[in-house]
Amino acid sequence: MPLPLLRDLFKRLDPQNPVASAGARPYPAARPQSGSKAPAVTPTMLDINGRPVALEVRVSPRARRMLLRVDHKREVVVLTLPRAASQREGLRFALGQTAWIAARLAALPPRTSLAPGAVVPILGMEHLVRHRPDARGTVWLEEGEIHVAGGIEFLPRRLSDYLRRRARQEIAARVAVHAAHVTKPVKGITVRDTASRWGSCSPTGGLSFSWRLVLAPAAVLDYVVAHEVAHLAHFDHSPHFWGLVGEMIDDVEGPRRWLRDHGAALHRFG
């Protein structure tokens, strides 16, 4: 599937979810015992093989049927309801899909913390993370390793900042190259941590990308950048659009397949 456009991104990034926060019906098994000292339980929790998994309910005017997905990054279940469906119907639907949810959770790639000893890819090349408490500087690459100076407590943040900075540099450089193929100017580049969209293009020419693309092979990052820049000329996924992407990069299908097969794994870092 082609990458969705900005309207999807904005909709998904909306931090307020009035439906879920307005008190979705609690799943009976997760309701705290009255009088117990147990901490408050999230309003809606699913019991997946004995493991509590949060269920987020969203109402979408564009949804035509109930949709369930597992958010790979946060390990929560997201239920999207059309306006016509009730919370109760949605919950019943979700409860009927626990085997599917369990299988999706079990299939998640392993999680990698940004910590010493971790192996983190940069443009697809694996790098071992090394802590250099006594060294000067902040973060640098050395013989296939990422060296991080300073206190151990700052390491995850320093490494994360470095990766985002590097992502911005790589993306900006590729945008500059591909922008030569279109007449509409780029109005700005945003790099953020998106949950399910690798990139987007706004009608006014603003481009947005996931910093996690810097973890992927260079050809994959290049494809996503070409895709979004091509939207400056064609705000659709027409044959003209794909023709332009094909003029910008040699291989379109390879990176698309890579994202389909391995994209979820990029969300398991940090």
**How far is 30 from 44, CA to CA, in rounded Å?**
8
Residue 259 contacts Zn ion per CB under 5 A: no
Q: How far is the CB of 61 from Zn ion (least distance, A)?
A: 22
Residue 23 contacts Zn ion per CB under 5 A: no
Q: Which stretch binds Zn ion (CB under 5 A): 1-9, 41-49, 185-193, 254-262?
A: 1-9
Q: How far is the CB of 82 from Zn ion (least distance, A)?
A: 24
**Cβ(44)–Cβ(55) under 8 Å?**
yes
Nearest to residue 57, comparing CAs of 79, 41, 76, 27?
Answer: 79
Binding residues for Zn ion restricted to 148-187, rule: CB under 5 A: none
**Cβ(143)–Cβ(128) under 8 Å?**
no
**How far is 146 from 233, CA to CA, in rounded Å?**
38
Q: Which is nearer to Zn ion, 93 or 235 (CB)?
A: 235
Residue 225 contacts Zn ion per CB under 5 A: no
Q: Where are the beta strands (DSSP E) in the chain?
A: 45-48, 51-60, 67-71, 76-82, 119-122, 125-132, 139-142, 145-149, 188-192, 199-201, 206-210
Residue 144 contacts Zn ion per CB under 5 A: no
Residue 2 contacts Zn ion per CB under 5 A: yes
Q: How far is the CB of 52 from Zn ion (least distance, A)?
A: 36
**Which positions from 100 to 129 touch Zn ion by CB under 5 A, shown as an x/- string?**
------------------------------
Q: How far is the CB of 178 from Zn ion (least distance, A)?
A: 14
Residue 3 contacts Zn ion per CB under 5 A: yes
**Cβ(148)–Cβ(137) under 8 Å?**
no
Q: Which is nearer to Zn ion, 3 or 216 (CB)?
A: 3
Show the CA angle centred on residue 74, arms to residues 157 and 166, nearest 5°.
35
The sign one gets for the Cα dihedral 141, 146, 147, 148 is positive
Residue 214 contacts Zn ion per CB under 5 A: no
Chain residue whose CB lies nearest Zn ion: 3
In the complex, the residues that contact Zn ion under the rule CB under 5 A are: 2-3
